[in-house]
Structure 1
Amino acid sequence: MDTRYVLDTRRHARGAVRPVVIAIIAVIALLAVGAWFLIIKPHQELIMADSGGHPSTPVVAATLAAPPPPANVAEMDVNQLIGEARTAMSAQRYLAPAGNNAFEFYLRVLEKDPGNKVASDALRETFPFAATSAEQAINSRDFNEAQRQIDLLAKADPTNFTLTILRSKLDAQRKTLDKQQQLALDQEKAQQLAAQKAAAEKQAADQLAEQQKTQQAEQQKTAQASAAKKSTQPTEANPAAGGDTAGGATGGETHGAVLTQAAAPHYPPSAVRSRQEGWVQLSFKIDTDGRTSDIKVVESQPRRVFDRAAMEAVQRYRFTPAMKNGVAVSTTKQQRIEFKL
């Protein structure tokens, strides 16, 4: 009997506890709902009214043209500045344009009334969305405007970590643009140098071709004069001697060295960059195999700028060696090589 009585008592106790728990939960829920409607929601509505719109409204890239800034901003009182700030917030002019944006108006409010809660709360609530505006300026590579907006954000909340991120992005974008511009300049400079080098080599080749043409004409005249002289020698020396000359010459071919392969000098890159021009007078020996040797600079202007290039070009020259009575002989020659851009 005692055992059954105890069990029945426990069952009744558990049945009484359940309604109490449910009642407590219902009271807590009602208090939470009441707090939302009576405290939290009115406070948020106040913040939204002060800021000119809901803070969660996304920042759009294109907005209507902003009206001109008020002419008498410095003379406005706190209420007038707050009114201008709310108008700017409604138009999502958080940080731009300069002189006619919500942040500047609210900051002026705080200058006049440092403890103004409306301005402080509005700046704090809208800071993330204003930061988005600054980030858009960075992405569009309007670096001066982005820097101005970041500085404005720093006045509102100098310790906000978002400023560090924005400054890092701005610095990275500036470096990227600098690299792109430098690369474009380097490519343009390389193209100019290549064009100048090609023009210099063409001009040098044209000069060599003209020199070869003049040399060949002179050598042809010399050969013709020599042949005419030989044809008259037998008659003058001994008409009865036939083809023998007075001096016992064999009558073999005699002519000067003839250039068969020219080489354009390479225009020194340093001279191309400084746009220098000049010339080099060279003396060199033409060996019996048609190659050049003993190349020396006789005179140059300017000194030592084009000497090496001229000597290397002459070293690549090839000649038909000079002939004397049918025998190849070495000769010495001088030549002037000009360098012009």
Structure 2
Amino acid sequence: MSIAASRRAQGVARYTFLIVLALVLTGGAIIFWLLKSRAALDDAAPTVVAAAGPVIRADAGVDELLQHAHQAMADQRLLVPAGNNAFELYLAVLKRDPGNRAAQDALREIFPFAAHAAEQTIDSGDDAEAQREIELLARVDARNYTLTLLQSKLQATRDAAARQQEAQQAGKRETVATARAPALAPPPAPAAPAAVAPAPPSPAAVRATPALTPGEQAIAQLQVESTSVEAAPRAAVRPKPAAIVDANGTTLPVLTHRVEPAYPVEARRTRRQGWVDVIFTVQPDGKVAGASVADADPKFVFDRAALAAVSRWQFIPGAQDGRPVAAQLRQRIEFRL
């Protein structure tokens, strides 16, 4: 073999070795990165599962969904987390099997507890989560008056937060204005007017006033007294109704216009009597909204007439810190012949 051929063979071997070494190093780096990424995923996986509950397959059947729903109810996951809670799982069962009695009975059973959980979410100040939970409850029983109470409480919480924020901003503006305004001396107190003694009657005036006889004096006194008694009723002002303030310092609404309900024709014909308890919200403009029946005796006889009447009532709205606010009221409407 010639010297040139030997050198050429050595050069090829050297380049081949470098290429193989580069490939080995690159493959090792890739394998190390994959192992490190998998270890990180393994460390994070238990936290995700613990927070969101067991993983549910997208093609899970009704029986499997029921098992997950029962487990969520046992774990007190009634409304949270979103997408993996007892309410949504039972609703998923009813979506696939609308007549499933197990899911229907379970939803009726846990509804009050879920409503209490939603109220606790409102108290915690998480408005977005509270609204989601109320909407989830409405998918089960949209006409339940508990939802009206929860929505009103959520709105009251939002209004209170808005008022607090507005008060803070107003305080900051006042502080800035006070710091910029120059100090002003208090204005001088106005001088008290000098007392003026009544001038004595002039002799001419005394002479011009004729003396009254005792009989004429009595008639004049009667005229003065009758004028005072008759003028008093015309000057009297009808007092406003006394405001009622609850324990939170909120002034309750005052009814100004009441519409009496129309007695149902069939109930009048059969001489039926009863009552209806109506729950409604008096809005800041004094109008009634969200009227619903809380209880009635007999049921479904006078409900429509009572709701139609209460919806037309007018109020002086409730107030807190001098500003109108929404208020929840309950009123019994009697139907008597």
* TM-score relative to the length of structure 1: 0.38
Larger radius of gyration: 1
Structure in which a larger fraction of residues adopt helix: 1
